[in-house]
Amino acid sequence: MKMVLIGAPAAGKGTQAARLVKHYGIAHISTGDMLREEVAKGTELGNEAKSIMAVGGLVSDELIIAIVKERIKKDDCKKGFILDGFPRTVVQAEKLKEMVELDKVVYINAPDDVMLQRLTARQTCPKCGATYNKLFLPSKTEDICDVCGEKLTQRKDDTAEAGQKRLDTFHEQSEPLVGFYTKEGILFEVDGTQDIDEITKEIIKGLDA
Ligand code: AP5
Ligand code: MG
């Protein structure tokens, strides 16, 4: 299974990917998570990406394509993978097409106001990567990760201002991917406003069809 999850910021890509990798036993490749790791380590790449990510822009196609090209060569991708947050431009999609043959592309669709509400309430665990939501998926103990007990943090780009900019960037640069993959005949859309479990069920049904 080689698949892509497309969706605006906070559409639920990471949440669904975490469930799907367990179900299918495949690798999860989140370009956003990979970039945040580089930022945390203070590498050259991280320093280059940091300011762009903070204001909700996109890092260069060239850079991100090179990262993904290396990542999908790793052993854990042999059984398949879920790309979460890549491609994000038609240029990236065209390059990906040269690298692999995709089975399916899932578009998680939800209105902007829903996504803005979700992203400003998101909390993440800096240690194990678990994701929570103060409104929709709270941790059992406030601000503490259920899985590993670490104190939860908020992403720097999860403010109303950066969130709106990320949504605008999605509509301008990433939404054309829906048309691109519809033409390729491999896209299906799910309603991202449903419950998390309902969305997972619908995606699995679509992937196994
Ligand atoms: P990235 O980390 O990919 O951010 P994003 O696309 O903005 O998406 P998010 O991670 O914010 O949302 P998500 O869809 O994963 O939602 P989640 O499941 O967490 O990228 C960050 C930045 O890196 C980009 O802005 C860009 O600068 C750069 N970048 C990355 N890839 C790039 C590329 N290919 N090219 C160029 N630049 C790139 O859910 C969100 C919240 O909602 C959580 O709190 C969750 O608990 C909750 N939630 C999820 N589903 C539901 C539901 N159904 N109901 C209620 N709550 C829900
Ligand atoms: Mg994510």
User: Which residue reads 């033409």 in tokens?
Assistant: 183
The pLDDT score that the predictor gives to residue 104 is 98
128, 28 in Cβ contact below 8 A? no
Q: What pLDDT digit, counting tens, does each position of 65-109 carry? A: 999 999 999 999 999 999 999 999 999 999 999 999 999 999 999
Summarize the confidence of residues 201-207 as an average pLDDT. 97
Assign 99 to helix, strand or coil. helix
Q: Which residues line ligand 1 (CB under 6 A)?
A: 7, 9-15, 31-32, 35, 52-53, 56-59, 64, 85-86, 88, 92, 118-119, 122, 131-133, 136-137, 166, 196, 199
Q: How far is CA 44 from CA 48, 63, 176, in A?
A: 6, 12, 30
Q: What pLDDT digit, counting tens, does each position of 170-196 carry? A: 999 999 999 999 999 999 999 999 999
CA 125 to ligand 1 centroid distance, Å: 14
**Cβ-proximal residues to 48 (8 Å cutoff; 6+ apart), any chain:** 59, 63
Q: What pLDDT digit, counting tens, does each position of 120-144 carry? A: 999 999 999 899 999 999 999 999 9
Residue 1 identity (one-letter amino acid): M
CA 103 to ligand 1 centroid distance, Å: 22
In the sheet that holds 27-30, the strands lie side by side as: 27-30, 81-84, 2-7, 104-109, 187-191
Whole-model pTM?
0.96
